[in-house]
Amino acid sequence: MDLDLRKLRYFVAVAEHRHFGRAAQELFLAQPVLSRQIRAFEQELGSQLFTRTTRSVELTPAGRQLYEEARRITTVVDAALRRVQEVERGEQRLVVAFSPGLHVSDAIRTFTASHPKVEIDVFPLRWWEQDAPLRDGRAHVGYLRRPFDDAGLHTVPIGHETKVACLPVTHPLAGRRTLTSADLDGEPILDVRTRRTSSLEEKFELIASGQGIALVPVRVAGSYSRPDLVYLPVTDALPVETCLAVPESSTAGPVRDFLAIATAVLRRSAGDAEKKKEAATRYAPSSFKITNSPLPMGDRELR
């Protein structure tokens, strides 16, 4: 069967709103029309996508699976249509994605000075999202932290970043000067495998309320200072590598030029940050002293 993209978009709207009326308003459709389209879509697929009651609309297991697939499909289609329209208009556009706490402004400013006709957009990544925008066409270049699947990607190492443990101030370990991985054994770690959250703000709110702890990059910690959270160095945590990444099939033109410029700028910035960190180690408060050691923390990482 051929997939009807129009009906797929209708399905996504209902899945996101969990309400036919609100989805119909978003789509500028009458609610009975939307209901008929969804029933027709279910018949075409041979699967019930929603459980409907007088008070709620919930996804069935088949509906949940389709929703995950549909978001990827519609994203890829939208990105492809945007690229076609840009070519038709003769536009050059570069989308730069970046992980939380990493900054690309210096690289963009340097690139724009020599490529003023290239339009630049930035794409802030959610904490659990890494290489996906590079694969589905939402971004051309990513400034990321490992680990991520680099199959099919060209990567350029930039630097390394320390991680610290984020705990609520009420935690029994919150008064320590430093921690080790052994101190965290048995602690509930909030990461992509245990509890996916939509934002760092949500994650930190969960930590502050005592739902778990997390290991976060030091630059993220510096951007989210809260009186109800503490960040403690984990002395045997392995620093995480930062790198630039682009699809192997898209390393020409503006992408190639940006990659060369960004590599030089970001490596210089990473080197300056390392020097500042070494100086801070000598003078940092006891609650936030940064140290490194070659023993890894395993998989308990916040990307």
What is the SS3 string spanning the chain? CCCCHHHHHHHHHHHHHCCHHHHHHHHCCCHHHHHHHHHHHHHHHCCCCEEECCCCEEECHHHHHHHHHHHHHHHHHHHHHHHHHHHHHCCEEEEEEECCCCCCHHHHHHHHHHCCCEEEEEEECCCCCCCHHHHHCCCCEEEEECCCCCCCEEEEEEEEECEEEEEECCCCCCCCCCECHHHHCCCCECCCCCCCCCCHHHHHHHHHCCCCEEEEEHHHHHHCCCCCEEEEEECCCCCEEEEEEEECCCCCHHHHHHHHHHHHHHHHHHHHHHHHHHHHHHHCCHHHCCCCCCCCCCCCCCC
pLDDT at position 275 is: 59
* Across 13-17, 128-132, 160-164, 178-182, least confident range: 128-132
- Mean pLDDT along residues 176-203: 84
Q: Does 290 have pLDDT greater than 70?
A: no
Taken in order 25, 30, 32, 33, the sign of the CA dihedral is negative
pLDDT at position 251 is: 77
Q: Does 116 have pLDDT greater than 50?
A: yes
**pLDDT band at residue 1 under the 50/70/90 scheme:** low
pTM above 0.85, yes or no: no
pLDDT at position 296 is: 36
CB 209 within 8 A of CB 114: no
pLDDT at position 292 is: 35
pLDDT at position 272 is: 64
**pLDDT band at residue 297 under the 50/70/90 scheme:** very low
Bridge partners for 216 per DSSP: 164
Q: Does 39 have pLDDT greater than 50?
A: yes
Q: Which residue has the higher pLDDT, 77 or 151?
A: 151
Backbone angles phi, psi at 296, to 5 degrees: -80, 160
The rounded percent of the chain whose pLDDT value lies above 90 is 53
The rounded percent of the chain whose pLDDT value lies above 70 is 86
Q: Which residue has the higher pLDDT, 164 or 302?
A: 164
Q: Does 276 have pLDDT greater than 70?
A: no
pLDDT at position 274 is: 61
* Across 63-77, 109-123, 170-184, 250-264, least confident range: 63-77
pLDDT at position 294 is: 35
Residue 149's Cβ-side half-sphere holds a number of Cα atoms within 13 Å equal to: 9
CA angle 104, 106, 109 (to 5 degrees): 105
Q: Does 277 have pLDDT greater than 70?
A: no
**pLDDT band at residue 208 under the 50/70/90 scheme:** very high
* Across 90-94, 195-199, 227-231, least confident range: 195-199
pLDDT at position 289 is: 40
- Mean pLDDT along residues 26-40: 93
* Across 16-25, 132-141, 204-213, 264-273, least confident range: 264-273
